[in-house]
Amino acid sequence: DQQVKQNSPSLSVQEGRISILNCDYTNSMFDYFLWYKKYPAEGPTFLISISSIKDKNEDGRFTVFLNKSAKHLSLHIVPSQPGDSAVYFCAASPYSGGGADGLTFGKGTHLIIQP
């Protein structure tokens, strides 16, 4: 049973436009959500996170939105740049912070920014 789902294996967006990556979860105990970015031949790097007490968190070009009632979160990248081309993983945890305890990852979405 997949508790964190990223239903789009890949997404292609034109440079300068908005990229929207989606993530759904089924476990209502999840309390903290994170996005990681991964380039080929490198490990994932932390991008942005959000606690369940918030519905939005912004960091520069990256904004994460959380809809708890729908068990849905999304990552918005505006404007999209060529260096944003990577695999993005959504992760969720029943605990605050982003430690390994209880952390569950989605399968990832490959974002491709077209010039």
Partner 1 sequence: KAGVTQTPRYLIKTRGQQVTLSCSPISGHRSVSWYQQTPGQGLQFLFEYFSETQRNKGNFPGRFSGRQFSNSRSEMNVSTLELGDSALYLCASNRDSYNEQFFGPGTRLTVL
Mark the segment that binds partner 1 (CB under 8 A) among 43-51, 52-60, 64-72, 78-86: 43-51
Name residues contacting partner 1, limited to 54-83 (CB under 8 A). none
Shortest approach of partner 1 to residue 107 CB, angstroms? 3
Shortest approach of partner 1 to residue 66 CB, angstroms? 17
Sign for the CA dihedral angle at 5, 23, 14, 40 comes to negative
Of the candidates 88, 90, 86, the one whose C-alpha atom is nearest the C-alpha of residue 104 is 90
Give CA–CA dist 56/75, Å, rounded.
10
Q: Determine if 107 is a binding residue for partner 1 (CB under 8 A).
A: yes
Q: Determine if 41 is a binding residue for partner 1 (CB under 8 A).
A: yes
Give CA–CA dist 78/63, Å, rounded.
8
Of the candidates 53, 52, 54, 34, the one whose C-alpha atom is nearest the C-alpha of residue 44 is 34
Taking CB under 8 A as the criterion, the residue among 21, 23, 34, 64 binding partner 1 is 34
Q: Determine if 85 is a binding residue for partner 1 (CB under 8 A).
A: no
- Taking residue 84's Cβ as centre, other Cβ atoms within 10 Å add up to 18
Q: Which residues of this chain interact with partner 1, rule CB under 8 A?
A: 34, 36, 41-46, 49, 89, 91, 95-108
